[in-house]
Structure 1
C-alpha cells in the first residue's frame, strides 16, 4: 500500500473515532486541530499497545474506564491559582475597577470561567473580587460560573480541596483568609464556595452563559481549528454585555475582531466588547421577572399554581425549583430515588446533592430560564459509594405562570440504566462478532503473504550481512585515523609543554630584570591601570604589588602627586613618543621629601600603555 492512500485511510479512521466519542460519550473533538489531537490519541494508543484506530475503538467499547484515561490525555488540565501573575495583576488593578465603576452598587456581577479544569481559575476570580468588594458584598453580588467538558476535573473543582503546593502562589495572608486546613489538604472557604457554580459545558456546542461582565477562557482556543474558534468567539460575543471584558491566554488573540472587540491590553490578552454590536447567533431571553404577591394568601396561591404545573409535567421522579432557587416540590419518586425528604422542601436547591450530581443542574436551570426552552441531558451517569452506576435522562423544563412570567423550573429524571446497559452489551456483542469475522477473513490473507515475507526477509538478511562487512572495514579505517590523530595530539602536547617552559623562563627573566633595576618602574596599560610594579617602586613608595595591580594609577594615594603627571602620560599615550624627564616634589615611604625625576616612555609591546621610570633626585629637606 502506498503512503498517500494509507494516510487518507488513517485520517478517515481518526474521523470515525472522533464521531464515536461524540455519539457515545458526548465529547465533541471534531473542532480540535487534527495535528495535536491525533498526536495525543496516538500517545494513549501507544500506552496501551494498540496501533490502529479501529482496534482502539474496540477497546473503548469493551472498557468504559479507558474513556477517562483518553480524555485525561486529550484535555490538558494545566492550571493554578493566579496563573501568569502579571496578567492577573493587570486584571486586578486596571480591569476590575473599570468594571465596578460601570455597574451600580447593587447590580449583580456575572463571571464565567470557561475551561476551568480543576477550579483554581474560578476560585482565583472569587478571591480577586472579595479583595476588591469585601466578603459580604461578594456574597450578595458576585456569581461565578466554572465550566469544563472534563467531569473528573469538575469533581475536583467542586470539592474545593487542594494540596499545600497548589497554594504556593498565594501569600500566607491570602491563604489563611480564603482556605481552611482539611486534613493534609486545604479547602476553599464555604461561604464563597457557594457563589461559584461548576458544571459541564462544551464551548463548541452548548449555548453560552449570558449577560456576563467578565469572561475568562485562557489557553483553550489554541487547541481548536479556525472554524471552531470563530464559532466560539461568536458565542463569547453574545455572552458578554456591552463593554464586558474577555480575558484570553498568552497564546491567543483577536486579530480579526476589531469591529466587535476593543483591545484593553494586547500583552495580557484582555479585550472589551464594543458597544452597539448585534450579538449572534443567540438571542438573550427577556429578563427574569417576578410577579408581586402581597400577603400570605398570594404566596399560597403561587405555590399551588407551581405545584399543579409540576405535577402535570412530571410523570416520574421530579422536583421543582422556584425563581429564587428554592425547592418547592419533590415528588415521591424523587424522594425514593435520591434519598430526599419533605424537609428538603423550602431549602436552597444549591445545598442539595442532586443540584450537582449526576450533573450540574444550576447552570442548566439558568440557561433554560433565560432561553425559555426545555433542555435535555441523556445518559447522565450517577454512581454512589459501593453502588453500581445508574443512568438517567434528565429534562430541565421552565414553567411559565400567569402573564407569561417565569414561575419555576421542573426537573424530571427518567431511569434508563437497564436500557443503557443492555444497549451497550448488545452493541459490544455485535461488534465482537463483526471483529471475529474480519479476523478470520484476514487470517487467510496473512497466511498467503507469509511466504513472500519470509523470502523478502532472507534477501534482507543477505543485504544486511554485506552492510555489516562494509561497516567493519569503515571501522578499521576510522581506528587508523583515530590512532593518527592521537599521535598528532601527543606531538602538539609536547610542543605546548616546550612553549610553556620557554614562557616561564622569559617571565622569570623579565621579573629578574625589573627586580634588579634600583629605580622604581611602573607599567600602565592603555586604560592607565597598573600592570607592573617592581621592587624599586615598593621600596620607594611603600605600596605592595598586590595593592596596586589592575588599579587606576591616578587613583592611587602615595607620596607622588600623580595628577601632575596626567598630561605627560596622556601625551605619551596619544603621540607614542618618549617625553622629557619631569621633576616633581614627592615624599618617599619613610616620610622624607625629595625631588622625584619621572621619565615617561611608550609601551609598544602590550597594545598601548606607558612605562614610568621614577628616580630619587636631590633632597629638599626632611619632614
Structure 2
C-alpha cells in the first residue's frame, strides 16, 4: 500500500494545505505526487540476515527490538551505528532502549526515544557483526556449537561415570580431542612441530594402526567395539591395553566418541623346560604377527575403500570443477562484453557530462545576466510558485516588502508588507485561477506610489508555474497627474471667470481663428443680432447674418491689416438689420495669442451707439 502511494480517508489526519501540496485526490482516494514517490525506495530488509545500508541520515526501528533476545539486540545496535552518518538519528519505540551502548548513541529526546549517533573514542567496527550467508553462518554455528561443547565438563563426567572411571578421551568423528579424563600419557603424546590436538597424530606406537580402523567401524555401525591386547610402546617398554570405542548418544555431543583405555596385567610365567619355553615363545610371536597382519590387512582394505571413495568424490568434484570452469569462462565472456558496454556507456556519460557542464555554464551566465538585468532596471520584482511561496526576488523588492534571503521558500502571506493594500493575496489567487493579469495603483506606508502588476509565470513549455509580481515606481507621474488636475481646475475657473466678464460687457464680441471662423461670441452679440450659438459658432465671419458681413473693406482689414499691425480701431460699417433697417456700427479688432504665437486669434468688438 505504501509502495503504491494510495491512501483513503486521511483528510482527517492530514492538514488541507499538506494534502493540496503533496497529494492528488480522486474522490476519497489520495495519491502521493509523482515527484515525492520517486524520492523513495521500498525494499525488504532483514536486519539479521541482510547486509546493512550505509550513509543513512535516519533509521526508524520502532517496536522491533522488543521481539528480539538480548544477544540479537547487542548485534543490531552496533550495525545501526555503522549505517548512520555522523550525527545521524535513530528512532526507537517507546519501550525500547540502546541497552549499554551509550558510547555509540546519545539521547536526543527522552520522551520519543530519539537517539543521535555519537563518534565514539572506541572503534565501533570491532564490535560490529555483519550478517553473512547461510553457509558461513552454518560453519559459524558449528564453531559456536564446538565452543559450547568445550564447556561440557558436567555432561562428560556424567557419561564417564556411567562406564566407571578408567582413563578415557572424548573425540569428534574427525579425531579432534575435546575432553581428556585420567592419565593418558601412556597412550598419547604430543608430536614435534605445531601443536595438534588430534588423536591420530598423538597416538603412540602400537595404537596408530588399530585406532583409525576401530573408529571407522564404530562410526559406520554406531555400536561399541573393543580391541584387546594392544601392545603400546611406552618409555621403551610395551603396555598391554584393551581399547574400547563407544559412540556418545547425548544430544549435546552428537557425533562424538568415547575412547576407553584399560590396562591388562601380564600373565604370570610358569617354570617350564627350555624347549617348551622356546615353543611357546615362537607360538606367541606367530600369534602376534598374525594378529598384526590381520590388522594391517583390515587397515589396507579400509584405506583402499576410502581411496576408491575419495577417487569417486574427486572425479565428481573434477566434473563439477569443469562445469564451474565452463560457467566461469562463460561468465568471463559476459563480463568482457559488459566491460565493453560499460566502457561505451562511460564514454557516453562523459559526453553527456560535458554537455551538462556546458549547459550549467550557459545557465550560470544567463542567471548572472538575469540578476544584473533585474538589479539594473530598478523595478521591484517577486517570483512566486503555484502555492504562493517565494522563489526569488530582486534587491529592490525589499523597499516594498520586508524580505531577506532566508525568506525564499516561505509563503508570501507570512511576510509583512509596506503597502496600504489588503487584497494582495486575493488578487494573486485570482490571477492564478483566471490567468488574466491585474494592474493596481497602490501606496506604501511612506506615501510612495507604485503600480503593481501581477502576471502568470509561463515556462517555455507554456506551463503556468507561479506568478510574477512587479512594482513600478509612479510617484512622480502620480504627482504630475495631480498637478495637471489642479491646473485644469484653475484654468476652468479662470475660463468661467473670463466668460462671466465677457458676458457682462455691453459691446458685442466675436473671437475668430486665423481662418476667420467664429470660435465664440458673447451674450451681447446674440442679443443685438437676434441669433443663437448654433448659427454663429463654426461659421466664417462673412457668412453670418445671410452674408451681411461680407464687406470687402472688412475682409481687407481682417486679412491684411491685422497680420501687419495686429489691430485696427473705430472702423465704421453700415449694417442692415431686419427690423430696424440700416445702422452704423463701429468695429475694433485686435490680434491675440493663445499659449504660443502659433495659436493666432482675432478679437472683434462691435459697438452700436445708436441702438438701444
- Is the TM value for this pair above 0.5? no
Greater share of strand: 2
Q: TM-score, normalised by structure 1?
A: 0.28
- Higher relative contact order at CA 8 Å, sep ≥6: structure 1 or structure 2? 1
> Over alpha carbons, which structure has the higher Rg?
2
Greater share of helix: 1
